[in-house]
A and B are shown apart, each in its own frame.
Chain A
Amino acid sequence: MKAVIFVIGYLILAPFVGALLDGVDRVITARMQGRKGPCVLQPFYDLSKLFSKQMIAVNNVQLLLNLSYLGFIVISGSMLFGGTDILMCLFLLSTADMFLVMAASSDSSPFANMGAAREMLQMMAYEPLTLLVAVGFYLAAGTFHVGNIIQSAVSPVLYMPGMLLGFMFTSAIKFRKSPFDLSTSHHAHQEMVKGITTEMSGPTLAIMNIAEYYEKVLILGIFALFFINSSWWSWPVAIVFCLAIYFMEILWDNVSARLHWKTLLTSCWLVTLLTAGVNLLILILMK
Chain B
Amino acid sequence: MGKLSKSPWLLHYDASSCNGCDIEVLDCLTPRYDVERFGVINTGDPFQADILLITGGVNSQTAPVVKQLYSQMPEPKVVLAVGICACTGGVFKECYNIRGGIDTVIPVDIYVPGCAARPEAIIDGVVKAVKLLDEKKEKIRAQKGREEQPGGTYGSEK
Contacts and interface: CB of A to CB of B under 8 A. Distances in A.
A and B touch in the complex (CB under 8 A): yes
Interface of A: 26, 30, 33-39, 42, 45-46, 48-49, 52-56, 188-190, 193-194, 197-202, 205
Given A38-B37, A56-B72, A189-B44, 11 more contacts: A37-B34, A37-B36, A37-B37, A45-B7, A45-B39, A49-B7, A53-B74, A53-B76, A54-B74, A188-B42, A201-B47
Contacts of B109: none
B116 interface: no
Given A35-B34, A38-B39, A54 B76 contact: yes
Contacts of A197: 45, 48
Interface string B84-110: 000000000000000000000000000
Contacts of B3: 45, 48-49, 52
B31 interface: yes
A194 B45 contact: yes
Contacts of A36: 34, 37
Given A48-B3, A49-B7, A56-B74, A34 B41 contact: no
Interface residues of B, number: 27
A54 B42 contact: no
A53 B7 CA distance: 12
20 contacts: A30-B36, A33-B31, A35-B31, A35-B36, A38-B38, A42-B39, A45-B7, A49-B6, A49-B50, A52-B4, A52-B137, A53-B74, A54-B150, A55-B74, A188-B42, A189-B42, A194-B48, A198-B45, A205-B47, A205-B48
A33 B41 CA distance: 15
Contacts of B44: 188-190, 193-194
Contacts of B151: 54
Interface of B: 3-4, 6-7, 31, 34, 36-39, 41-45, 47-48, 50, 72-76, 137, 140, 150-151
A199 to B, nearest CB: 6
Specify which of A33, A42, A54, A202 lies most central, judged by the most chain B CB atoms within 10 Å of its CB. Answer: A54
A188 B31 contact: no
Nearest to A46: B7
B48 A45 contact: no
A56 B44 CA distance: 17
Contacts of B76: 53-54
B48 A42 contact: no
A193 B45 contact: yes
Specify which of A48, A188, A200 lies most central, judged by the most chain B CB atoms within 10 Å of its CB. Answer: A188
Nearest to B71: A56
B48 A30 contact: no
A56 B47 contact: yes
A46 B43 contact: no
Contacts of B74: 53-56, 201-202
Contact of A45 (B6, B34, B50, B140): B6
Given A55-B74, A56-B74, A202-B74, A39 B45 contact: no
Nearest to B75: A54
Nearest to A33: B31
Contacts of A26: 36
Contacts of B6: 42, 45, 49
Nearest to B30: A35
A172 B66 CA distance: 36
Contacts of B39: 38-39, 42, 45-46
Nearest to A194: B45
A98 to B, nearest CB: 22
Contacts of B73: 56
Contacts of A202: 74
B19 to A, nearest CB: 14
A201 B37 contact: no
B45 A34 contact: no
Contacts of A199: 47
The 8 closest A-B pairs by CB, nearest first: A201-B47, A45-B6, A188-B44, A54-B75, A54-B74, A34-B31, A35-B34, A46-B7
Contact of A201 (B7, B36, B41, B48): B48
Nearest to A27: B36
